[in-house]
Structure 1
């Protein structure tokens, strides 16, 4: 039976993966959720996934694809997208759900993110939420992003933009868009703009809808070329958030009968309590 929604998560197996997965486990949507984790080039041990999945609730399936090599030119592979190679497109095709959302391993979601997105996408081909900017050290919210990821024809970019972490689309209606996860924008020397290619095609060819509410916690990266510009727009909010105490990690209700995901180098799932 297909899941209500699939979540695609490219990862380098960083420690932040645990918080990202926990935010999925704590979603208020209690229908079936399939999580597809794609490992490009691991920075950490693959056994981290067992620990991350300890609190997996029975309505969530976690599956891992680790081919054993990178599919990105960044790490010696063939895929031109430097931010994950072909993993996003491959996992989108593999997803056993019509509706597909995306979450990077260093960000996380509000507990109502998926329920809100599923509600608005019923009348559209794709949907998006807004996001909060989060301080990289304290992990405290700085402010709502009011400049960048605002949807079509809004914000500082010429035609608008939506952060992949804020995006969901109907993969059957938008099947032709999936390939663009592999294709950066023409002339982009960084080869990090496949997400903008996906957005451009969704905007031009399909009907979108928004929740109108922030539900994505996006952690800022000081190395991002946009970081200096963001600091100017935030004023003193960045420093204020940086001085706050780190929040406690989200705690999911632990179901001891739901086994952790095991086995790597292949696609696998922890299905014991999800196929009933």
Structure 2
């Protein structure tokens, strides 16, 4: 495969080489895109086993080219770097520019795509600056979707973040037309606060402006792994309980269940996602 020839679509992943990287990468390999995929993986800080990444590269199907960027240090503030985005510092910006395709999707290494994620976004993005899908709240250990998110990642002008942020889109639901928004990519290195968790909102606040028209695929094709330690876990459980009668348990930790007792303790902390 000639990597100089532009790809049909690219996917960027910033990682610490967590075990969940396998699921994320395999979901890229399983995409039903007609064409070539450039998968570009950046190592923010090597905290896992590099052998996992070597195995995944060896397993790449013929239509997927994998590029790995490993500077050997982190530019993230939490690891001693100077950039506010705790999840990669300036590395997400670098990956966005290096991806050799006009169309670029992002994928966090603990999330994954349905097989039609890229193809469904490619259908709607022509003529737009960016596109997004809906997402599933996903069980952290069972690799299954629990409930479609109808509250948080529901696009500009919608959802519980409408008033404070103008809406929200999970980064792993997004596809960019680089020709239209490439000047915004440096914003991915920044954060709205000192804890580095709001880097996605800096970029989104600009994407939501009128000069960057968007389209929605109308499908829930991204899977967001819910985290029981997240400040918003309780309120998410309350939301999910309105759609799912019997929420599944966390089998790896009996003290952290998708249960009624946890739901009852859920607050309203939806600002610090």
Superposed pair shares fold, TM > 0.5: yes
**TM-score between both structures, scaled by the size of structure 1:** 0.84
Among residues 160, 163, 173, which one is paired with 2:180 in the alignment? 173
Per-residue deviation, residues 243-266 of structure 1 (Å, max 9, x unmatched): 4999xxxxxxxxxxxxxxxxxxxx
Structure 1 residue 241 displacement after superposition: 4.6
1:122 equivalent to 2:129? Answer no
Per-residue deviation, residues 157-214 of structure 1 (Å, max 9, x unmatched): 04101000000111121122111101112xx232221111111101113000000110
Corresponding residue for 2:248?
242
**TM-score between both structures, scaled by the size of structure 2:** 0.85
Corresponding residue for 1:223?
229
Cα distance in 2 for residues equivalent to 1:173 and 1:44: 36
Distance 1:104-1:239 versus aligned 2 partners, 3 A rule? farther
Corresponding residue for 2:52?
48
Residue ranges of structure 1 left out of the alignment (5+ in a row): 247-276
Query: How many residue pairs get matched?
Result: 244
Cα distance in 2 for residues equivalent to 1:161 and 1:133: 15
Structure 1 residue 238 displacement after superposition: 7.2
Residue ranges of structure 2 left out of the alignment (5+ in a row): 253-273
1:160 equivalent to 2:167? Answer yes
Secondary structure in structure 2 of the residue aligned to 1:242: coil
Corresponding residue for 1:269?
none
Per-residue deviation, residues 68-111 of structure 1 (Å, max 9, x unmatched): 11110101112121121111101111111111100011111010
Secondary structure in structure 2 of the residue aligned to 1:201: helix
* Runs (4+) off by over 6 Å: 236-239
RMSD of equivalent CA atoms: 1.9
If asked which structure has higher relative contact order (CA below 8 Å, sep 6+), I would say 1
Among residues 148, 157, 169, which one is paired with 1:144 in the alignment? 148
Which is further off, 74-83 or 32-41? Answer: 74-83
- Correspondences of 1:205-216 after superposition (within 5 Å): 205-216=211-222
Corresponding residue for 1:198?
203
Cα distance in 2 for residues equivalent to 1:100 and 1:43: 26
Cα distance in 1 for residues equivalent to 2:221 and 2:182: 25
Cα distance in 1 for residues equivalent to 2:35 and 2:150: 32
Cα distance in 2 for residues equivalent to 1:189 and 1:230: 24
Cα distance in 1 for residues equivalent to 2:150 and 2:242: 16
